[in-house]
Amino acid sequence: MIIYNVTVSIEYEVQDEWLEWMKSVHIPEVLATGKFMECRMSKIMAEEEGGAAYSIQYLCQNMETLESYQKENAPELQRKHQEKYGSKALAFRTILDIVHIERKNG
């Protein structure tokens, strides 16, 4: 399985609006592509000058599915994000290959 991680640095002045938009619009649109099994959004617990940082992690079955998303869906979804928030939300993307998962029993 693959994690498609998007790290976003968001200015404080638009943080609350951005969070609501991500939860109600953007993440549902990404999941609606059918390419991801789940999404997890976390606030990065570090002080940022002038803003906050978030990690949005989308779980994908394999690299082929992620490549399909990047080719067919990502450009339009990223364009919408850029048009709405511009330089107030800076994103970078990382692809993680899950090599081991262990869960606590009980």
> Could you tell me the residue range of the domain that residue 35 belongs to?
2-97
pLDDT of residue 101: 86
Q: What are the pLDDT digits (tens) for 6-24?
A: 999 999 999 999 999 999 9
Domain with residue 33: its CATH number is 3.30.70.100
pLDDT of residue 106: 67
d(CA 44, CA 41): 10
d(CA 54, CA 33): 22
Please state, rounded to an integer, the average pLDDT across all residues of the chain.
94
Count of domains observed in the chain: 1
In a domain, 105, yes or no: no
In a domain, 104, yes or no: no
pLDDT of residue 40: 97
In a domain, 51, yes or no: yes
Q: Which of 8-22, 39-53, 62-76 has the lowest mean pLDDT?
A: 39-53
